[in-house]
């Protein structure tokens, strides 16, 4: 079981960028997306500074973000990767189950993967997540190589912090409509 203390600020840059983007989308009335906090149990407190210095995660969280985009339920998780290979151990079974269930309710589930060394974002559709997950669960490769990804879903961060994932949702919806 991980602790608050040992995880540090991993992923906080991406989280800050996504949170700012979500605020902007809300201001523009394009989407309502909220960060889902991970429930913790404080173990050690710094009473002088009134801060938690050590805590345990109470339970598994679902995904990082949940909300709606123009009436469509949306959920996604934001992941950072510093190499050209994304390890599937960064995704948990309970997240796959949650995302799959949201898809069954006509929602859109995806991962946002920030390749930090390249300063590039990737929108991984749930269909793609499930394909790689199932491959790993049946004894196949336990990571995703950059060259396996759909080039249409790579995008750049704008203005240093804006993550335009709504553009990718639109492309995702177009592909879903083509298959229907």
Q: Which residue carries 């801060």 as its tokens?
A: 51
Angstrom distance (rounded) from CA 127 to CA 169: 13
Angle in degrees, 0-180, between the axes of helices 12-27 and 165-179, rounded to the nearest 10: 80
Query: Which residues contribute to the annotated binding site?
Result: 62, 64, 77, 95
Query: Which residues contribute to the annotated binding site for Mg(2+)?
Result: 62, 64, 77, 95
Strands 72-81 and 108-115: parallel
Q: How many CB atoms lie within 10 A of CB 80?
A: 17
């Amino acid at each position: 079981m991980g602790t608050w203390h040992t995880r540090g600020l991993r992923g906080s840059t991406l989280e800050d960028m996504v949170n700012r983007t979500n605020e902007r989308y809300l201001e523009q009335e394009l989407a309502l997306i909220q960060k889902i906090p991970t429930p913790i149990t404080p173990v050690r407190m710094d009473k002088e500074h009134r801060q938690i210095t050590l805590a345990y995660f109470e339970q598994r969280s679902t995904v990082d973000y949940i909300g709606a985009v123009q009436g469509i339920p949306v959920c996604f998780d934001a992941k950072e990767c510093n190499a050209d290979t994304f390890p599937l151990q960064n995704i948990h079974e309970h997240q796959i189950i949650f995302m799959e269930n949201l898809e069954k309710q006509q929602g859109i589930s995806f991962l946002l993967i920030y390749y930090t060394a390249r300063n590039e974002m990737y929108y991984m559709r749930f269909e793609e997540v499930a394909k790689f997950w199932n491959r790993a669960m049946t004894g196949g490769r336990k990571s995703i190589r950059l060259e396996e990804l759909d080039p249409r879903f790579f995008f750049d961060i704008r203005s240093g912090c804006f993550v335009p994932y709504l553009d990718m949702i639109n492309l995702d919806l177009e592909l879903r409509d083509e298959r229907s």
